[in-house]
Structure 1
Amino acid sequence: MPRRPTRTVPTVIVPGWNGSGPGHWQTWLGQQLEDAGREVRRPAFADVDHPALEPWLTDLRAALDGLPADGFDVVAHSLGAVLWLHHVAGSTGAPRPARVALVSPPSPALDAVEVAEFFPPPLDVDTVRRGADGTVLIAGDDDQYLPEGIADAYGRPLKMATTVVAGGGHLNTESGYGAWPAMLDWCGRGNLAFF
């Protein structure tokens, strides 16, 4: 059987609150992509432990600067996924990615004073669709930060298909996601579907 071509576009990895430490799948993913010769970018958030919407948006846009329109992917986790929704709602001239994976965005109804300015996130169907050639939503079926589930919280409001990972929790280190081969495989494929 012929080997399928491997996608080699740049990938922007957007971490969430408290960042993606050394054991997190985003850190592992970035290293795997870099080892394969892929360009990887990350926003240079000054303080991942104290999120601030406007500075984080500025840092995200700086990470996107100079990327080819429709020629890169975005992989955002948790609060980083919510940040992406704010980015596309207020985007002015930033390059548009080919694909976006929004992983474990917290509930739009999250009530946490430390990140209150991020919630509720903008959930306009047309805006999100214009923000990338395609976007996929992924979350565990038992995510403590998303009790209503990814379909009810984001999939239905955005009219977007979702991928539910059984027993995935918040798809973070505590849930056992240090290495995540399925995400690496997604980064290497050209299609949008996660599984």
Structure 2
Amino acid sequence: MDFTSRVLIVPGLGNSGEQHWQSLWERQFPNFERVGQTEWDAPVCEDWISKLDQVVMVGDPSTVLLVGHSLACSTIAYWANTFQRPIKGALLVAPSDTEADSYPSGTIGFSPVPLSKLPFPSIVVASTDDFYVSLGRATLFARAWGSELVNIGSAGHVNVASGYGDWPEGLALLKKLD
């Protein structure tokens, strides 16, 4: 599978480990690049969206696809509301509900979850048993953001702990945006 876009991997809280599908994709495709953050474990929304914008603006933003997981989905929504960049699209996987009691403390500025329409095409991937977001809330986010919602069933937080390393179905969804 080839991608014509510049694909930016945007991990969530704690970054994505070596066996996470985001890391595997980054190693598999030379035009996939991780957006690094200074502070992975106690993130500040303003810092994360500023860093994301810096990386997006290297080159032509209209060629950029974002691949967010977990807290990165809210990061992308906040970034979109703040900067309104004309990117190609975003794949938003397992968006965390930062307003839920189940969400870990230690993040600053990521609540409430933004509910404004994103100014680019997007797909939200959600599961029926994600500890960090109910399917109902993920559906609400997708509708508010103007995203296509893809319910992949019982998939936990769509990470290594729930059995997601190499994830070809996710690549196929990303290809729809390319």
Alignment-mate amino acid for residue 114 of structure 2: P
Say yes or no: does 1:97 pair with 2:87. yes
Alignment-mate amino acid for residue 185 of structure 1: A
Pair member with larger Rg: 1
Q: Is 1:138–1:150's contact at 8 Å kept on the other side of the alignment?
A: no
Alignment-mate amino acid for residue 82 of structure 2: G
35, 43, 51: which one pairs with 2:43? 51
For normalisation by structure 1, the TM-score amounts to 0.81
Q: Aligned-pair distance for 1:148?
A: 4.3
144, 151, 171: which one pairs with 1:157? 144
Say yes or no: does 1:23 pair with 2:13. no
Report which stretch shifted further, 104-113 or 173-182: 104-113
Q: Is 1:70–1:97's contact at 8 Å kept on the other side of the alignment?
A: yes
When the two chains are superposed, the root-mean-square deviation of aligned CA atoms in Å is 2.1
Q: 1:19 to 1:44 in 2, by over 3 A?
A: same
Aligned length: 176
Q: Is 1:108–1:153's contact at 8 Å kept on the other side of the alignment?
A: no
- Distance in 2, Cα, partners of 1:56 & 1:180: 26
Alignment-mate amino acid for residue 31 of structure 1: R
Q: Aligned-pair distance for 1:44?
A: 2.0
Say yes or no: does 1:169 pair with 2:156. yes
Say yes or no: does 1:121 pair with 2:113. yes
Q: Is 2:25–2:32's contact at 8 Å kept on the other side of the alignment?
A: no
- Distance in 1, Cα, partners of 2:143 & 2:88: 22
Tell me the secondary structure at the aligned position of residue 107 of structure 2. Answer: helix
Identity %: 27
Alignment of 1:69-148 (within 5 A): 69-91=61-83, 95-111=85-101, 112-125=104-117, 128=118, 130=119, 132=120, 134-148=121-135
Deviations 1:63-108 (A, max 9, x none): 112232321211000001110000011116xx42212111111125
- Distance in 1, Cα, partners of 2:172 & 2:148: 19
- Distance in 1, Cα, partners of 2:37 & 2:138: 29
| Runs of 4+ displaced beyond 6 Å | none
Tell me the secondary structure at the aligned position of residue 184 of structure 1. Answer: helix
